[in-house]
Amino acid sequence: MKKKWAWIFFPLLLTGCAAQPVYETLGDVWAEPVAAAQIREVQLSLPEDTAQPVLQGEQGSQIFICQDYEVWVETVPGGDMNGTLCAVTGREQQDLTVLKTQENGVSRYDCAWSATDEEGERVARTAVLDDGTYHYCLTALWPADKTVSVEAEIDQLFSDFTLL
């Protein structure tokens, strides 16, 4: 009798071991990563009284101290222009008047702003060159009362700011 029950329950136990159907699924097609573009060099003309950079940071950021103003040059990963402008100026792109131009296949974004800090009222100007991979940023900051005396140098500095 026990063998009879075993023959009845044994096949029932094996029904859970049946082969499961195999489904073929299609996943996302992964693009091969493109080799990162090389960081390009920037060209700018600093006044002769400017020595070597006062401070050099990661990714080529540099700070120069001129007689009446400071200059920052830095390179950051591209893609998010609002993030770059916010990091450089401390303001959202929507809070700035940004002039966008195109030169030699490179987009250029220019803006200016003013702020008051412990040193008094200061004026700043920024240019960002966007080659599609990196943002190359140039910022100059000076006391508002020195604007007339530094205007020509600042204009020359920003007009010479290009990618090589």
Query: What are the tokens at 60?
Result: 């080529």
Instruction: Of 126, 135, 156, 107, give the one whose Cα is nearest residue 40.
Output: 135
* Helix, strand, or coil (residue 44): coil
d(CA 135, CA 72): 13
Closest CA to 121 of 146, 150, 97, 94: 146
Stated pTM of the model: 0.73
**What are φ and ψ of residue 3, in 5° steps?**
-65, -35
Return all residues near 157 (Cβ < 8 A) that are at least 6 apart. Answer: 44, 45, 46, 71, 138, 140
3-class DSSP assignment, residue 130:
strand
**CB burial of residue 55 (10 Å; 0-12, 13-18, 19+):** exposed
Looking at residue 13, what is its pLDDT?
47
59: which DSSP letter?
Answer: G
pLDDT tens for the chain, 164 residues: list them.
555 545 555 554 455 555 666 666 666 665 555 545 788 888 888 877 665 566 666 656 888 888 888 999 999 988 889 999 998 888 888 888 999 999 888 999 999 998 888 888 999 999 999 998 999 999 999 999 998 988 999 999 999 999 98
Q: In angstroms, rounded to a whole number, what is the distance separating the alpha carbons of residues 41 and 153?
A: 21
**Domain 59-163 class in CATH:** alpha beta
